[in-house]
Amino acid sequence: MNTKEIKLQPELEKAVMDLGFSEFTEIQEKCIPLIQAGKDVIGQSYTGSGKTAAFGFPMLEKIQPGHGLQSLVLVPTRELCNQVARELVKFAKYKKAFIVEVYGGVSINPQIDHVRRADVVVGTPGRILDHLGRGTINFNKVKILILDEADKMFEMGFVDDIKQIISQVQKERQTLLFSATMSQDVHDIVRHYMKNPEKVKLQSYVDKGKLIQHYYDVDTRDKFSLLAHLLKQARGLTLVFCATRHMVDALGRNLYKQNVKAMALHGGLSQNRRKQVMDMFHGGKLDVLVASDVAARGLDIKNVNLVVNYDIPRTSLDYVHRIGRTARAGSEGSVISLLSSHDHDSFRHVLEDRSLLVQKMKLPEFERLQFTKGETRGGFGQRGGHGSFHGFREREGRFGQQREGSPGRFGNREDRPRYGGNRSGGSRVGNRQGNSRGRGDMFRDK
């Protein structure tokens, strides 16, 4: 739909023109009029569909700058918090609304004054609760509550936190919920906290006609060697997914030794470090981003040519989230999954989704390389080994290492500090200035 077919306030229309929007995406076209009309809305959409603009523009229309905190946006991770807040700042360029982002991992003190003056707060659940506990945030004037990536917040164990936060917001409000999937927890929130919501659902995650999906069955000892071989043949940006922070770091360091411009991204890195990695990736200084699911979820990473599953995700939904990073907006893309013996059960679960067309490939000839798990000095653009600063280590659950983002008491919450609530914070963001080729089977070649 042409942008002129949806009417926005003049200040917001001017921002739309500055941003070069020529037409609205499907999620924007369907959600904006409903939100403008004051409806509660459920938007079921994938990362990169344009949902921030879908809720951002109509939300900002309802904000009166300088009249206190009127909108709260809850997000699962620091990266998404930063990304959403910066997008809203662009949208509010002429509206001059004061947008503040709130997340853990940095000092809380510089943020407290900003929150008091905020018109819109974008925050992670743990840090918002810190503010509620301190009495440094007031929801009395909040009239729009937005839950972004709701399914991911619940997967990370934030269900009770979100319920506690919602209980502090006035009942006479507009509630907007965006989620890639509709889990039972999401349905519970909808049932208890939303009023006759309108549902907008996008039909697909990716353009499957332009997405080529392959897998290799490879001995565990040769998995890294195969990956390095494939990456050296690849062109364009590549995302490599691992299950744990430890593997993310180790893979990043070992790829560096093979002269692959790769860096690691996971929840154990400082916010400044994570931002630095993303800036390098977006700036073309990296070819490969090795990431955990939690760190990469919600990031709008454009122009990804290849997604590699170094560790196979446990479910088809997780697989779909990953492959949604490529073959977007009419572009072609590829997905390669590397299976060793311990990945077979997970891959069976992935293939339960009969719409996924994955072809088994014959192993190519490749050089056998050494893979070291321990940290070493040096690395691409950093101290202490490629993928993390020296001294960072994998945080573990009480009963041993967990896959990053696993829910429950002993999981690693993305915005929770390791030793309590006083070691994290947030920061100010804005100011008033404004063919597939046929279905494969794990044990059968096509």
* Average confidence (pLDDT) over 177-198: 93
Q: What is the pLDDT of residue 180?
A: 81
Give pLDDT tens digits for 112-158.
999 999 999 999 999 999 999 999 999 999 999 999 999 889 988 99
* Average confidence (pLDDT) over 258-279: 86
94-98, 153-157, 336-340, 431-435: lowest mean pLDDT where?
431-435
Query: Is the domain of 79 the same as that of 128?
Result: yes
- 208 has pLDDT over 80: no
Better pLDDT: 351 or 327: 351
Give pLDDT tens digits for 50-61.
899 999 999 999
Query: Is the domain of 217 the same as that of 199?
Result: no
Better pLDDT: 146 or 409: 146
Q: Which residues pair with 289 in a beta bridge?
A: 239, 263
Total domains present in the chain: 2
- 1 has pLDDT over 80: no
Query: Is the domain of 225 the same as that of 297?
Result: yes
Highest average pLDDT, of 59-68, 207-216, 299-308, 402-411, comes from 59-68
Q: What is the pLDDT of residue 269?
A: 83
Q: Which of 174, 7, 177, 19 is nearest to 89 (CA)?
A: 19
Whether the predicted model's global pTM rises above the 0.85 cut: no
Query: Is the domain of 131 the same as that of 249?
Result: no
Q: What is the pLDDT of residue 181?
A: 82
Q: What is the share, in percent, of the chain residues with pLDDT greater than 70?
A: 76
The Cα–Cα gap between 20 and 204 comes to: 25
User: Judging by DSSP bridges, how do beta strands 99-102 and 120-123 pair with one another?
Assistant: parallel
Q: What is the DSSP string of 62-116?
A: T--TTS---EEEE-SSHHHHHHHHHHHHHHTTTTT--EEEE-SSS-SHHHHHHHH
The Cα–Cα gap between 395 and 84 comes to: 27
Structure tokens at 292: 């955990």
Query: Is the domain of 109 the same as that of 28?
Result: yes
Confidence bin at 279 (pLDDT 50/70/90)? confident
The Cα–Cα gap between 284 and 273 comes to: 17
* Average confidence (pLDDT) over 22-48: 89
Give pLDDT tens digits for 365-401.
999 999 988 654 434 444 443 333 333 333 333 233 3
Domain, as residue range, for 270 = 208-407
Give me the chain's average pLDDT, please.
Answer: 81
Is 103 among the domain residues?
yes
* Average confidence (pLDDT) over 326-341: 74
Is 125 among the domain residues?
yes
Query: Is the domain of 30 the same as that of 82?
Result: yes
* Average confidence (pLDDT) over 231-240: 90
Query: Is the domain of 29 the same as that of 150?
Result: yes
Is 199 among the domain residues?
yes
Is 329 among the domain residues?
yes
Q: Which residue has the tokens 């407290």?
A: 112
* Average confidence (pLDDT) over 321-329: 64
Is 414 among the domain residues?
no
Query: CB neighbours (10 Å) of residue 379?
Result: 23
Query: Is the domain of 20 the same as that of 85?
Result: yes
Query: Is the domain of 234 the same as that of 140?
Result: no
Query: CB neighbours (10 Å) of residue 243?
Result: 23
Confidence bin at 431 (pLDDT 50/70/90)? very low
Is 437 among the domain residues?
no
Is 170 among the domain residues?
yes
Q: How far is CA 45 from CA 48, 92, 256, 364, in A?
A: 9, 23, 35, 37
Query: Is the domain of 402 the same as that of 265?
Result: yes
Query: Is the domain of 27 the same as that of 167?
Result: yes
Is 139 among the domain residues?
yes
Q: What is the DSSP string of 188-248?
A: HHHHHH-SS-EEEE-S-SS-GGGEEEEEEE--GGGHHHHHHHHHHH--SEEEEEESSHHHH
CATH number at residue 17: 3.40.50.300
Structure tokens at 229: 């071989």
- Tell me the residue type at 138: N
Query: Is the domain of 163 the same as that of 212?
Result: no
Structure tokens at 378: 């040096």
Q: Longest Cα pair distance anywhere in the chain, in angstroms? A: 65
